[in-house]
Structure 1
């Protein structure tokens, strides 16, 4: 069966699409084990929604309650610093539109959507590995912890960058989608009142509720107010309000889940190491690998119905999410064993230094 070139490119460039995975590996056994997204496979427990969450327009009071819960969960000074949106994917172009079209610089290699969204807002966008180069842009974007390698940029460095940008009328956007499992003392949520900083958080990764589509822009009161006004009174659906309020307030679940994810990440490291695959970065939601045999490993696992994340611009890099249950752990172990027994080169590749555009 011939696979269209655009379908292959889509699988290489984006994780989480089983339709694309089936196009690339049409004979793979199902159900698929999707390890390509970095989404928590142990989602926040589902619960029965009140009927009004579906049958009535969302109440402004519930939106205000969610903003208050989010401010407390993320360490923002007040609910007035929190703007709600239907996922950070939708928030990104609005945030980039806060600055008149100019130059956007994204600290990479990272999630490609930031540069695309900046271009949609009229900016010329580049990706760079040089943090200092971001100070010359009109909008600077840092993913912290970074996707896909888990890199952390210190709060001190980010605040210094924000000062440099603010002097020029620029904006620092920090995507903290994975900060729920990162070092919270490096978060900038408590610093947005200084101005010129927008922090993005979401319910999709740590809480495993990507389909709810709920995101937050944490910023100075004037920026948060402007974003709220642009989105209007019903920017977040009734079900998203209910899940956001309950999940963000559930501190016991959050603490237990962080411990569980750390244990699973250690287990994944050990499993990969047992088959000669060294982990060189990541968070407790995903692990990053640089391997000389990455392309064959991706194909070997894909042919066995296990989708991991590969990167067309960095052919030696892979990202592994966490298996969701014992059957998935077993299938991953068997696929790794098959790759190794078929001559898989389980050694790390030299570091890659080229820029990823």
Structure 2
């Protein structure tokens, strides 16, 4: 059994893979995360951005740009990555005994609550939370790792019927599916919280930046728990640049669409069934996920296997046609076939 104090395996552990299988970083094809393989071109930043602490006016300006970009109804809270916000979620219901998590999903939601002594009850659907005395319900939309989508009307209906509960929606993978976003309702619906990740779509996971849309009382709790200067000046400057360049955002969307089609084609040609997907990754049936992931690693391709879905692996997007061919042939050699 995984305890609250036990670390959770995540994608992106390239150094560990290199230590086990050898090779240099440039020899590996890291498909273990849901981060875009294409990064936003970075602006030249003035030295002052690095040298001084960010002013509150700068934070407010970037939050306003984020509100427009994500279609929010209220100014979001800027956080140093949505992972940091997940650690703070239990403070929004400090006296709760139980929360519900629509699962299987990203493991850090449950872990953050269990660390605080709360019960994180896994449920299969949002509607199943109606029968549980849970102070909060956490939903990833689209979900990680299977790409399951919950329509806005369903989330609206649940939030309005259960105003005594917090409904927390993680939209880390919603950038290519704006028709799913609830950012425009968070704040207007006082029990609705929406988290957005900056790094995944913009290919800048190392920047550690995210935004949380919530009504003022809950937003104030997050701000208080984070303390001053939680987000760095360079991160704010890069976000301001990104949100102001509609042309670059459009180019990224086009590149991601193309990479998605290349990856899909490689999987189809390797006869690997797709069990779920988002614009940034595919969940695939391969028979024995851990074994296939290990064989792919011997070919220096890094993917994710899951304890909760042992027959499956998650594969991120290839950046180019050469990588697509490499993935296709390596999957064949690894014996990636459903049972």
1:308 to 283, 303, 307: 303
Q: Secondary structure at the match of 1:217?
A: strand
2:17 to 21, 24, 30: 21
Q: Please say if 1:280 is aligned against 2:275.
A: yes
Q: Please say if 1:146 is aligned against 2:140.
A: no
Which deviates more, 222-231 or 257-266? 222-231
1:47 to 39, 43, 47: 43
- Where does 1:119-268 land on structure 2 (aligned, <5 Å)? 119-135=114-130, 136=132, 137-166=134-163, 169-182=164-177, 184-192=178-186, 193-268=188-263
Provide closer, same or farther for how the CA distance between residues 345 and 239 of structure 1 changes in structure 2, counting only shifts above 3 A.
closer
2:68 to 72, 86, 104: 72
Q: Secondary structure at the match of 1:69?
A: helix
Structure 1: how far apart are the matches of 2:143 and 2:118? 22
Gaps of 5+ in 1: 1-8, 350-357
Structure 2 match to 1:3: none
TM-score under structure 1 normalisation? 0.86
Q: Deviations over 1:51-70 (max 9, x none)?
A: 11110011111101011001
1:32 to 28, 47, 50: 28
The answer (yes or no) to whether the contact 1:38–1:286 under 8 Å persists in 2 is yes
Structure 2: how far apart are the matches of 1:311 and 1:47? 37
Q: Secondary structure at the match of 1:190?
A: coil
Structure 2 match to 1:94: 88
Structure 2: how far apart are the matches of 1:160 and 1:24? 49
Which deviates more, 84-93 or 129-138? 129-138
Gaps of 5+ in 2: 1-5
Provide closer, same or farther for how the CA distance between residues 296 and 332 of structure 1 changes in structure 2, counting only shifts above 3 A.
same
Structure 2: how far apart are the matches of 1:305 and 1:345? 15
The answer (yes or no) to whether the contact 1:28–1:305 under 8 Å persists in 2 is no
Provide closer, same or farther for how the CA distance between residues 27 and 40 of structure 1 changes in structure 2, counting only shifts above 3 A.
closer
Q: Secondary structure at the match of 1:189?
A: coil
Structure 1: how far apart are the matches of 2:228 and 2:245? 26
Q: Secondary structure at the match of 2:57?
A: helix
The answer (yes or no) to whether the contact 1:13–1:310 under 8 Å persists in 2 is no
Provide closer, same or farther for how the CA distance between residues 313 and 13 of structure 1 changes in structure 2, counting only shifts above 3 A.
farther
The answer (yes or no) to whether the contact 1:44–1:247 under 8 Å persists in 2 is yes
Structure 2: how far apart are the matches of 1:29 and 1:19? 8
Structure 2: how far apart are the matches of 1:30 and 1:335? 17
Q: How far did residue 298 of structure 1 move?
A: 1.5
TM-score under structure 2 normalisation? 0.91
1:336 to 305, 316, 331: 331
Q: Please say if 1:118 is aligned against 2:116.
A: no
Structure 2: how far apart are the matches of 1:266 and 1:307? 19
Q: Secondary structure at the match of 2:238?
A: helix
The answer (yes or no) to whether the contact 1:280–1:289 under 8 Å persists in 2 is yes
Structure 2: how far apart are the matches of 1:345 and 1:308? 12
Provide closer, same or farther for how the CA distance between residues 94 and 145 of structure 1 changes in structure 2, counting only shifts above 3 A.
same
Q: How far did residue 294 of structure 1 move?
A: 3.2
Structure 2: how far apart are the matches of 1:263 and 1:325? 9
CA-atom RMSD, angstroms?
2.1
